[in-house]
Amino acid sequence: MIVFSVVALFLIFATVAFGAEWFVEGKPLGGVEIANTAKGGHAFKIIKNNGKIEIECKQLLFGDKSALTPPNRITAPSMALTSCTVIKPAGTPCEVESLPNKIKGQIETVPAEAVVEVGGVKITPQAGKTLATFNLVGAGCGGQAGKWTIKGSIESTVTKLAEETIEKPFSFTSTSGSELEIEGESEASEKAEFTGEDEIKLAAGQDWSYR
């Protein structure tokens, strides 16, 4: 199983109504930057079905210029899972390393976007199918050492999306619609599960909604 536990946020969600759009301080608006609440919540997890890999991370951070984009999108030039540790394989040393920047303890996404759909928000790469790549490095990684690729989409529900509030709670569950696969250099692609919850807000702390 591949597990990424993250204590922090990731994007946004809810039931979409025809003609709905983003509102900030009660006015239709886009291009407003998103910020991390970094409150911590229930850990995010990505679980790979074969149980061979488990990685835990403390935060998911949006990159600079992540923003609401009219009428129903959030664009994120980059996002990163940070403070990641390898739980499985259990040998030491074994570390996670981002690609392409090779930052230890981190996993970086490609440019991504979230689209509000009926029942939730779907987060996908802006181009292609690959959402993130990373290395497992160290003698303790054994046969799991090398490059790993995460492909597909992550989908979440949200509460209070239609209400003018500063923070929006979001929740990824096993039934919220995520469609992920993980593959290694020497392992075929397998389905994966993504779960977790936390909150997100705008960089300037305004009230906002989607309605």
Model confidence over 30-79: pLDDT tens digits? 668 776 654 444 466 667 667 788 888 877 777 788 888 888 888 888 88
Q: 33 is written with which tokens?
A: 């930057």
Q: What is the pLDDT of residue 17?
A: 41
Q: What is the pLDDT of residue 130?
A: 95
Cα–Cα dist 196/173, whole Å: 7
**Residue 2 scores a pLDDT above 50:** no
Q: What is the pLDDT of residue 174?
A: 85
Q: 189 is written with which tokens?
A: 């692609």
Least confident of 110-114, 169-173, 206-210: 169-173
Q: What whole-number percentage of the chain has pLDDT above 90?
A: 24
Residue recorded with tokens 């394989």: 89
Q: What are phi and psi of 143, to 5 degrees?
A: -70, -5
pLDDT confidence band for 131 (50 / 70 / 90): very high
Tell me the average pLDDT across 119-141: 91
Distances (CA, A) of 200 to 111, 133, 136: 18, 24, 29
Q: What are phi and psi of 126, to 5 degrees?
A: -70, -25
Least confident of 48-52, 130-134, 142-146, 155-159: 48-52
**Residue 14 scores a pLDDT above 80:** no
For the chain, what are the domain ranges? 4-201
Q: What is the pLDDT of residue 43?
A: 60
Q: What is the pLDDT of residue 90?
A: 87
Q: What is the pLDDT of residue 49?
A: 62
Cα–Cα dist 113/73, whole Å: 7
Q: What is the pLDDT of residue 10?
A: 38
Asked if 84 and 4 touch (Cβ cutoff 8 Å), the reply is: yes
Asked if 156 and 185 touch (Cβ cutoff 8 Å), the reply is: no
Label residue 35 exposed, middle or buried (CB < 10 Å: 0-12, 13-18, 19+): middle
Cα–Cα dist 198/150, whole Å: 22
pLDDT confidence band for 7 (50 / 70 / 90): very low
Q: What is the pLDDT of residue 15?
A: 37
| Mean pLDDT, rounded, of the chain | 80
Asked if 173 and 162 touch (Cβ cutoff 8 Å), the reply is: no
Q: What is the pLDDT of residue 200?
A: 80
Asked if 161 and 21 touch (Cβ cutoff 8 Å), the reply is: no
Q: 178 is written with which tokens?
A: 């995520």
Neighbour tally for 24: CB within 10 Å: 18
Instruction: Please tell me whether residue 46 adopts helix, strand or coil conformation.
Output: strand
